[in-house]
Amino acid sequence: MRMGIAQMGSRPGDLLGTPGRVAALSERAAARGVDLLLFPLPLLSGPEGTTAPADQEPFASSLLLALSDLSREVACPCVVPAVMSLGDVSQAEAFLLERGRVVPLGVPAWSGDVSLGVPGGASEEASTSAPPPVLELSGLRLGLALSYEDLDDYDDHDRDLDAVVFLSPYPYAADDPSSPLGANVLGGRFAADAAATGAWVVAVGGLGGYGEQVYTGGSFVMTPEGELVALAPSFEEQLLVAELPARGDEVVLRSPVEPELFDETLFMWQALCLGLRDYVRKLGLPGVALVLDGSLGSRLLATLSSDALGPQNVHALLPSLGGEARERSCRRLARELGVDLVELPGMAGRGREGTLPRLLPFAQLAAYAQEGGLLPVGFLDKTGLSLGGGTSQPGVLLHPLGDVYLSDVVALARLRNAISPVFGELALTEGELPRVEGVEPPRGSRAREDWVARVDAVLCERIEWMRRPFELAEAAGVDDSFARAVLAAYESTAASRAVLAPCLGASTCPVEDAAPPLPFVWHDAAGPVESPLELAQRLFSPRDDPRGGRTAAASPRTADGEPAGPAAEGNDEAHAQEAPRAFDEAISYLRDFGVDAGFGIVDDATPFSGGRQGGGRADGRREWSGPFSDN
């Protein structure tokens, strides 16, 4: 099979423009002899579909009609995925478009018992939920994975596959080494997937910004031995074509693709540039406005915006900073970058001397951006947002650095300065350091950076890796008192994050997703606790009911958890063995009364047949006439 990957970006929900681009690309692929062309998951629907309840069904219908029209226009068989939301359920599905047919692949809720109608047909397992489906196309057996869990299923089941097609739903995340796909193929999971399945891995990555989420491309084709046959560059559109061998053919790669060494900091910079550029362009705005107050974060944001949008589309507002040296540094940076600098004489800066002086420049920013039709952006980072900075920049509508820790901000600034030295001093000032009650940051540039790195390590273990309080110190490599102080500062500032502006995604868990809902006063215990299941079994084990029946009330227990008192002398062990069976029987009985289950609901015109067994019906189901009311 000659397989193609169309690594391309799109505007989510553009069902008028994107299908035309798909058809044009299929013609290019057909000219190169492609047998099957694969498209990325966010292409038509974005990564989440539409979440507005009133729009869900109309969008799903429009999407299916667009796929039907597109199936008559494509020049070669194409697999086009999409995400559709119906109610509280969002479902990713892939559709095969070929010769006027639209065939759902891989998801039983859609495909059911529908024949795929493709050469060779589908294996019998394709319409069941487990084991994972296998599609037979052009004589090859293909697995279709739309998540890491799907890949795990193929790893765990022997399905005799030729290739696993992975349509990645995951945006870039610094803490997910597999999310950059081929750019970090040496650090990701895919070589292990190829070895576990004994099959080729074909990974298709999305490209571009979709709201706050950023997809970086990096599509690739890998042999079962983990060698790269083809690799698409990150951050670029490309039609990638690779030959998959027929079953039984020996594969000898004369020149496998050598992956480049993955530079995490450089990749993050490029991902943020791509995300900011697409966020602004897809909103149809001409550029951004920002406050340039001399802090490292504001200088980095100005540089990032210039790289992403071009300096002519960046407007930096310079407040009166109360220090000639800082103002000169800001003017020099604006001149080096070539961005528009707007000075705000008489406005106080960002010092710690009072709240109002720190907020005034951002009020001016909101007014300036509104007048010019610009996007007001802020420079708060993930460390600042986690420790109480969520309300310190009102009027801002996007934080491009809001999912990047302060220690990474320093690393990004050093990297960008190495590319072209636009920054002056890179050291963190006292006003930029996070506030942790009871813990004073040290003096000295290097000591401060090390201290910030330790704060970030605690926050990362809590937010990204969801460590419990008693695990934080060991996981982050810090003292327990330090970890507790950082955690206390994080938990005490939850209210400031309730009104947080969107942040460009750079991790699997942005700070706004990590906190419990307000007001939520429970705090985790200091140490390990018994699992809920084991605790429930211990507390609610059956015992004799004094009325002669059964009850789930807790049996008396001794300090070590053993039965005590009269219950210890009864038949607890026998009852414990009977309870699951009795419970299963009750649940089985209740399932008979579910919609489309064993019993049908009789209407007013149907006489009651009196009892559970009911009478026969034309559709083979039994009537349900009681003992329950319509309710």
Model pTM? 0.81
pLDDT the model gives residue 542: 59
CB atoms within 10 A of CB 598: 15
Q: Quick one: tokens of 186? A: 């040496």
Q: How do residues 258-310 score in pLDDT, each as one tens digit? A: 988 999 999 999 999 999 999 999 999 999 999 999 899 999 999 999 999 99
- Give the residue from 412, 458, 451 showing the smallest Cα distance to 433: 451
Is the confidence at residue 570, as pLDDT, over 80? no
pLDDT-derived band at 613 (thresholds 50, 70, 90) equals: very low
Mean pLDDT calculated for residue range 510-521: 77
Residue 454 pLDDT level (bands cut at 50, 70, 90):
very high
What's the mean pLDDT in 563-579?
Answer: 56
Q: Are strands 140-145 and 163-167 parallel, antiparallel or unpaired?
A: parallel
Is the pLDDT confidence value at 512 over 90?
Answer: no
DSSP string, 62-97: HHHHHHHHHHTT-SS-EEEEEEEEETTEEEEEEEEE
* Rounded distance between C-alpha atoms, residue 271 and residue 308, angstroms: 10
The answer to whether residue 581 scores a pLDDT higher than 60 is: yes
Q: Which of 396-405, 410-419, 456-465, 530-539 has the lowest mean pLDDT?
A: 530-539
Rounded Cα distance between 170 and 222, Å, is 19
Mean pLDDT across the chain: 83
- Per-residue confidence (pLDDT) for residue 130, from 0 to 100: 57
pLDDT in tens, 351-362: 445 556 678 899
Q: What local confidence, expressed as pLDDT, does residue 326 receive?
A: 84
Percent of the chain with pLDDT over 70: 79
Looking at per-residue confidence, does 215 or 554 come out higher? 215
Sorting pLDDT into bands at 50, 70 and 90, what band is 562? low
Confidence band, pLDDT 50/70/90 cuts, at residue 239: very high
Q: Is 359 exposed, middle or buried (0-12, 13-18, 19+ CB in 10 A)?
A: middle
Name residues whose C-beta falls within 8 Å of residue 379's C-beta, 6 or more positions apart in sequence. Answer: 290, 291, 295, 297, 298, 300, 301, 393, 399, 400, 401
Radius of gyration of the CA atoms of the chain, in A: 30
The pLDDT of residue 78 is above 80: yes
Note the pLDDT of residue 522. 78
Q: Could you please report the per-residue DSSP string of 225-250?
A: TS-EEEEPPBTS-EEEEEEPPPTT--
Higher pLDDT, 146 or 512: 146
Main-chain dihedrals φ then ψ at residue 172, nearest 5 degrees: -65, 135
pLDDT band at 598, cuts 50/70/90? Answer: low
Q: Which long-range contacts (CB under 8 A, 24 or more apart) does 58-61 make?
A: 59/13, 59/84, 60/84, 60/85, 60/86
Given a cut of 60, is residue 88 above it in pLDDT? yes
Confidence bin at 174 (pLDDT 50/70/90): very high
Helix (H), strand (E) at residue 204: strand 200-204
Which residues neighbour 255 within 8 Å (Cβ) at sequence distance 6 or greater? none
Q: Which one is predicted more confidently, 494 or 386?
A: 386
- Please tell me the distance from the alpha carbon of residue 518 to that of residue 466, in angstroms, as a whole number: 19
Q: What is the pLDDT of residues 490-504, one digit of tens each?
A: 988 887 787 788 999
- 556 by DSSP, 3-state: which? coil
What CA–CA distance (Å, rounded) separates 360 from 367?
A: 11
CA dist 138 and 119 (Å) reads 6
- Binned at pLDDT 50, 70 and 90, residue 370 comes out as very high
Beta bridge partners of 167: 204
Task: Name the residue among 154, 146, 168, 280 with its Cα closest to residue 232.
Answer: 168
pLDDT 10s digits, 42-52: 999 999 888 78
The per-residue pLDDT for 347 is: 46
Q: Measuring CA to CA, which residue among 140, 29, 38, 134 is closest to residue 79?
A: 38
Query: How far from chain centre, in Å, is Cα 495?
Result: 24
Instruction: Tell me how crowded residue 314 is: count the other CB atoms within 10 A of its CB.
Output: 28
On the question of pLDDT at 394 being above 80, the answer is yes
Could you tell me which of 232, 243, 265 has the C-alpha nearest to residue 35?
A: 243
